[in-house]
């Protein structure tokens, strides 16, 4: 009886495993909604004269690949569509330095120069500047001419075409 009981249990298990499964309606693919890993761009700087901290954040954001390319393109003066390739090349620096601006000086109508300290890896902080910023469309931006000169000196000649 013991063998018969085991055989019956095995037969029931086998029958359950082989029985046709209920047919469900085909499922539509489900989109998984997750928050993006992108960082938001900084708020526009619209003060009459920007602060050193505002320009520090603006420059850092322009180099930050965690911010979408189109948003970084808006951080340079000029039309956004002209600045997308510049934003790509500008942010692609292999070891971007971090700059903390400490002074902002007027450089003409709708223009300022910022100076401060650069930080790169374990190197002692070093003086940086002046770096030009311009007021375009009532917002302070990284100077496109400055950024184009910088990336053009390396390999981004097409970035500002």
Does residue 40 lie in a domain region? yes
Which of 17-26, 57-66, 84-93 shows the lowest per-residue confidence on average (mean pLDDT)? 17-26
CA torsion 52→60→94→135, rounded to 10°?
A: -80
Report whether pLDDT(152) > 80.
no
In a domain? residue 30: no
Domain membership flag for residue 19 = no
In a domain, 88, yes or no: yes
- The arithmetic mean of pLDDT across residues 135-142, rounded, is 96
Residue 141: pLDDT band with limits 50, 70, 90: very high
Query: pLDDT digits over 23-64, tens only?
Result: 555 555 444 444 456 778 888 999 999 999 999 999 999 999
The verdict on residue 133 lying in a domain is yes
**Does residue 103 form part of some domain?**
yes
Q: How many CA atoms lie within 13 A of 155 on its CB side?
A: 6
Q: Is residue 94 part of a domain?
A: yes
Has residue 135 got a pLDDT over 80?
yes
Is residue 141 one of the residues assigned to a domain? yes
Number of domains into which the chain is organized = 1
The whole-model pTM stands at 0.72
For residues 94 and 60, what is the distance between their CA atoms, to the nearest angstrom? 14
Rounded Cα–Cα distance for residues 132 and 105 (Å) = 10
Domain that holds residue 122: 36-160
């Amino acid at each position: 009886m013991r063998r018969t009981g085991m055989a019956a249990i095995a037969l029931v298990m086998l029958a359950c495993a082989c029985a046709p499964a209920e047919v469900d309606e085909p499922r539509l693919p489900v989109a998984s909604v997750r928050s993006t890993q992108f960082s938001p761009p900084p708020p526009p700087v619209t003060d009459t004269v920007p602060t050193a901290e505002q320009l520090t954040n603006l420059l850092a954001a322009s180099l930050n690949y965690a911010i979408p390319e189109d948003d970084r393109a808006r951080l340079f003066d000029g039309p956004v569509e002209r600045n997308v390739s510049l934003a790509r090349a500008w942010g692609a620096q292999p070891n971007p330095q971090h700059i903390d601006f400490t002074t902002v000086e007027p450089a003409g109508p709708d223009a300022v120069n910022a100076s401060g300290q650069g930080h790169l890896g374990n190197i002692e902080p070093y003086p940086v500047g002046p770096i030009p910023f311009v007021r375009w469309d009532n917002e302070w931006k990284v100077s496109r001419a400055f950024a184009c000169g910088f990336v053009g000196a390396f390999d981004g000649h097409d970035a500002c075409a």
